[in-house]
Amino acid sequence: MERRSRTWNADPGCCGIPGDAFQVVDVYGDGWGMEASMISPVTGRVATTHGHSATYYSDWNSGNLAEGTTVYIQLCAVKGTTEDCSAAYSGHA
């Protein structure tokens, strides 16, 4: 699924990129949006391109996590009530 892209950033980086943060990008104007959800730990955090024209980078969705926490983020292509989701990506805070 080439339209999918998400980025996890464990530590603060250059240019104001926060730590413990993720974002998604949608580069195709095909009517599908991108949505990434942190599924573990359960935080309710979501980054989305919904409602924006391609090419669009979502805002960074950030929140402090304990150092070393394992995170799982799932990426979904969404269109109306249809979604097509990837396996969860794992990383560390």
Which whole number is the average pLDDT over 27-35?
89
pTM: 0.81
pLDDT for position 1: 41
pLDDT for position 4: 56
Per-residue pLDDT tens for 32-58? Answer: 999 999 999 988 999 999 889 888 999
* Residue 2 pLDDT > 80: no
Neighbours of 39 (CB within 10 A): 14
